[in-house]
Chain A
């Protein structure tokens, strides 16, 4: 029986269930001090002065700094890795504001003390003289003439404009028998991982930086800290220990991380910062906050011919790591599961006096699904079809499918998911029940809602990311080392924050190398242990990292095959391989296990001429396409109809 496909109890559970999770705030270092950030209560204000004197005299205080005091440490400010267009306003984002604050929660000073409580007490004594400015928090108001301006180098509060047009949308819309136009609000939300963010940094006498941080992206962070602080990458070690959920919010290069590194360097003591929940609500990135205008063109029967989208997306006050790109991750998906001839997408990014937005669960794609699914329902009503009929009429049903927005969906079966949904639901009976209640004027009426979807996941083919001007690739890296005792180490570039990599990756390698799941040691989340990786986001760990692991396993098997052939004195072609064991064709008793080959490779006493000792392999996998998961969600609700009075 293979390990893949089994619902195994997880390898990672025991430690967590015993209360031995190593979340950042559980860690302590000798001589550690605590940092507390003083944040603006205003959404928009000039910082006229910051007086630290009283705070510096408070009990237990070690140091305190204003944004201006530390500005030299981060001359370029925090990075944005996704300059999506030529017209993008790459505004400066200082970890601590110097001249102006642009959202409630923007940091202005930091206090360091011997205890968490002393730092917080002293932070209350920091006197900041603000001159409040008119603020704009609504994204359409921010685009209006005369709106308060956030950044001098972003006229009209415009961050960027971006378009994707294929086919002949103007003609398709003017020829259309039927059009519908809808307007939806994607409300802003707060990601709220259960574990607040936090960081602990230690810098030794020769300037080696070690930072434990609650991040989804230790490798991205290492590069980012080097870019922001000018510390050579080789001197930066980033450790993501146990991370208590992320949902995209722990993928960013945050002010507090570069602040604790800077303070630890300056003070020569380990510095810890732990987010309070109310700080998380203000200073950890938010999701969504968009206005979607979507227009569909169709034939009189409801067959779609075109989609036109005008998206206005709030960036918040600054551009975080991938803020501008998030609305565009949905740009290809506004036709959903449906075939159209023409596609016209346009997005305007807008600065507002709010917490910056960035990647949150699905990042751009669920928003696209929401818009197209509501819009096809509107079209169904207009042409007199049911939600099921309109979907079935328009589903893409031939694969691979070159979709109007320009990508290729490799495979899918959208009818299958919808049919299954209807079957599970007992759809026909429910509709009959709904009709009966309507006819009877029942106090409880039934509502039945559908959402079908397809999403581009498994981020991402590096070439496509390059074409989109994203600053990094989308590959993933895996190394396997088979130890002399038969333990298999998997060194993974993608690292978990609750996903269960240790178990699932072990299942894959256990099957390929014929070892027990328990014999696999999964290592990740420490740049000194696993130096390369692209980290965890965008539904990528298994479709990208898991495939890298599969290929690395195959390389291990091929090397082991050469060793086994040499030991058994047969040709490699004469060996058959099944779950860990090579056997000689025709003499199945004669064979060798991968574990035995590992010992031979380690002792290196008798290897084929020229072969490197050791049984290990690495693979970096760059996916040729996205993965395209699809599905159907059906919801039935029972509610009391609103009555006119």
Chain B
């Protein structure tokens, strides 16, 4: 077992983890932050996307020990006192979710991408989502929502 200390959604957490423990299972099973979903176990689908020091990572491909000393933000840490982050708000307004399973990962990927490129074109948004799969919406409204969150007219 290894001792780790990290900041999760602004809160300092210390824990003992197996060295092989994936970050996503540490978040879900040890911290009970189940908003981050596991869709494929293989970093193909992006459902488990979280922010590590502000940048999107797939938490099913990162070991919990690799997050030691870092700052992790999950979907639960995005809203401000219950008020949606602009990306969450845009997803709601533009019907960018149906079953909701890919949604936390989509939102976190979008938050990270807009940080990197605040005013993307539609083509850039589509490219930025290549690591995140959605099975319900056909992506169209997700793209619209991300463009809207960037302040673009949609």
A→B interface (CB under 8 Å): 7, 9-10, 12-14, 16-21, 23, 25-26, 28, 116-117, 192-196, 242-245, 247, 276-278, 497-500
Q: Is the CB of B150 closer than 8 A to any CB of chain A?
A: no
Contact of A19 among B29, B74, B99 (CB under 8 A): B74
* B70, CB-defined interface residue at 8 Å: no
Q: Determine whether the beta carbon of B91 is less than 8 Å from that of A17.
A: yes
Which one, B30-38, B51-59, B61-69, B118-126, is touching chain A?
B30-38
Give the residues in chain A near B28, CB-CB below 8 Å. Answer: 25-26
Q: Please report the C-alpha to C-alpha distance between residue A497 and residue B25 in the assembled complex, in whole angstroms.
A: 24
**17 intermolecular pairs with C-beta atoms under 8 Å apart:** A10-B97, A12-B100, A16-B97, A17-B107, A18-B75, A21-B100, A25-B28, A25-B34, A116-B25, A117-B20, A193-B101, A194-B39, A195-B99, A196-B39, A242-B100, A245-B99, A245-B135
Least CB distance from A248 to B in Å reads 12
B36 partner residues in chain A, CB cutoff 8 A = 19
Residues 111-154 of B at the A interface (beta carbon under 8 Å) = 133-136
With both chains docked as a complex, state the minimum distance between the C-beta of A497 and any C-beta of chain B, in angstroms.
6
Q: Are B37 and A195 in contact (CB under 8 A)?
A: yes
Q: With a CB–CB cut-off of 8 A, which chain A residues contact B93?
A: 9
From A116, A117, A277, contact of B39 by CB (8 A): A277
Q: Chain A residues near B97 (CB, 8 Å)?
A: 10, 13, 16-17
B139 to chain A, nearest CB (A): 13
A-side contacts of B47, CB under 8 Å: 194
Tell me the total A-B contact number using a CB cutoff of 8 A.
114
Q: Does B18 contact A (CB under 8 A)?
A: yes
What residues on B are CB-neighbors of A13 within 8 Å?
A: 91-92, 97, 100
Residues of B within 8 A of A194 (CB): 37, 39, 45, 47, 99, 101-102, 133-136
- The interface size of chain B toward A, counting residues with CB under 8 Å, comes to 43
Q: A192, B92: Cβ atoms under 8 Å? A: no
Query: Is the Cβ of B38 less than 8 Å from the Cβ of A25?
Result: yes
- What residues of B have a CB within 8 angstroms of the CB of A7 in the complex? 95
Q: Is B71 an interface residue (CB 8 A)?
A: no
Q: CB-CB < 8 A to A116: which residues of B?
A: 25, 29
Q: Is B15 an interface residue (CB 8 A)?
A: no
Top 7 closest pairs, chain A to chain B, by CB: A19-B35, A498-B99, A244-B101, A16-B100, A19-B75, A26-B34, A498-B98
Q: Is the interface of A mostly helix, strand, loop or mixed?
A: loop
Task: Check if B39 sits within 8 Å of A498, measured CB to CB.
Answer: no
Does A277 contact B42, Cβ atoms closer than 8 Å? yes
- B134 to chain A: which residues have CB within 8 Å? 194
A277 to chain B, nearest CB (A): 4
Q: Give bound CA distance, A247 to B101, whole Å.
A: 14
Set of chain B residues within 8 Å of A25, measured between Cβ atoms: 28, 34, 37-38
| Docked complex Cα distance between A622 and B41 (Å) | 42
**Residue on A nearest B40 in the bound complex, by CB:** A277
Cross-chain contact B135 with A192 (CB below 8 angstroms):
yes
Contact A19 B136 (CB under 8 A): no
Q: Is B14 an interface residue (CB 8 A)?
A: no
* Cα(A345)–Cα(B28), bound, Å: 52
- Chain A proximity of B152: nearest CB distance (Å): 19
Nearest Cβ on chain B to A117's Cβ, whole angstroms? 7
Look across to chain A and name the residue whose beta carbon is closest to the beta carbon of B107.
A17
- A244-B100, A498-B98 are contacts. A277–B41 as well, Cβ < 8 Å? yes
Q: What A residues does B136 contact at CB under 8 A?
A: 194, 245, 498
| Beta-carbon contact of A14 and B35 below 8 Å | no
Instruction: Say yes or no: B135 contacts A17, CB within 8 Å.
Output: no
Q: In chain B, what residue has the closest Cβ to A19?
A: B35
Chain B residue nearest to A242 (CB atoms) is B100
The reply to whether the CB of B76 lies closer than 8 angstroms to some CB of chain A is yes
Residue of B nearest to A194 (CB): B101
Other-chain residue from B35, B39, B41, B133 in contact with A20 (beta carbon distance below 8 A)? B35
- Given contacts A17-B88, A23-B37, A25-B38, whether A245 and B101 have CB atoms under 8 Å apart is yes
Q: With A13-B91, A14-B92, A195-B39 in contact, do A19 and B102 touch (Cβ < 8 Å)? A: no
How distant is the Cα of A193 from the Cα of B40 in the complex, in angstroms? Answer: 10
Q: Report B26 CB to chain A, min CB distance, Å.
A: 12
Closest approach, in angstroms, between the C-beta of A399 and any C-beta of chain B? 31
Contacts of A9 in B (CB 8 A): 92-93, 95
Separation in Å of the A216 CB from the closest CB of chain B?
A: 11
Assembly CA distance A497 to B97 (angstroms):
12
Whether A17 pairs with B41 at a CB distance below 8 angstroms is no
**Contact of B79 with A247 in the complex, beta carbons under 8 Å:** no
Chain B residues with CB below 8 A from A21, complex form:
34-35, 37, 100-101, 103-104
Specify which chain B residues have a CB less than 8 angstroms from the CB of A26 in the assembled complex.
28, 34, 37
> C-beta contact mask, B69-83 vs A, less than 8 Å → 1, else 0?
000001110110000
Listed residue (A21, A23, A26, A499) with the most chain B CB atoms within 10 angstroms of its CB = A21
Chain A residues positioned under 8 Å from B39 (CB to CB): 194-196, 277
- The answer for the CA separation of A28 and B34 in the assembled complex, in Å, is 11
- Excluding A12-B100, A195-B99, 17 further A-B contacts by CB distance (< 8 Å) are A9-B93, A10-B95, A17-B88, A18-B75, A18-B76, A19-B33, A19-B35, A20-B76, A21-B37, A21-B104, A193-B99, A194-B47, A196-B38, A244-B102, A245-B136, A247-B135, A277-B40
Chain B residues whose CB sits within 8 angstroms of the CB of A243 once the complex forms = 99
CA distance A14 to B91 in the complex (A): 10
Closest to B133 in A: A194
Residues of A within 8 A of B41 (CB): 276-278
**Contact assessment for B100 and A498 in the assembled complex, using a CB-CB cutoff below 8 Å:** yes
Residues of B close to A245: CB separation below 8 A: 98-99, 101, 135-136
Q: Chain B: which residue is nearest A274 at the CB level?
A: B38
Tell me the bound Cα distance from A23 to B107 in angstroms. Answer: 18
Please determine whether A16 and B103 come into contact, CB atoms closer than 8 angstroms.
Answer: yes
Q: CA separation between A18 and B75, bound complex, in Å?
A: 6
Q: Out of B18, B34, B35, B40, which one reaches A117, CB within 8 Å?
A: B18
B98: nearest residue on chain A (CB-CB)? A498
B103 is contacted by which of A17, A28, A193, A497 (Cβ under 8 Å)? A17
Q: Which residues of B contact A497 (CB under 8 A)?
A: 99
Asked if A18 and B79 make an inter-chain contact with CB atoms under 8 angstroms apart, the answer reads yes
What residues of chain B lie closer than 8 Å to A10, measured between beta carbons? 92, 95, 97
Chain B residues with CB below 8 A from A192, complex form? 135
Q: How far is the CA of A16 from the CA of B47 in the complex (A)?
A: 13
- Residue in B closest to A12 when the chains form the complex, CB atoms: B100
Contacts of A193 in B (CB 8 A): 99, 101, 135
| A498 to B136 alpha-carbon distance, docked (Å) | 8
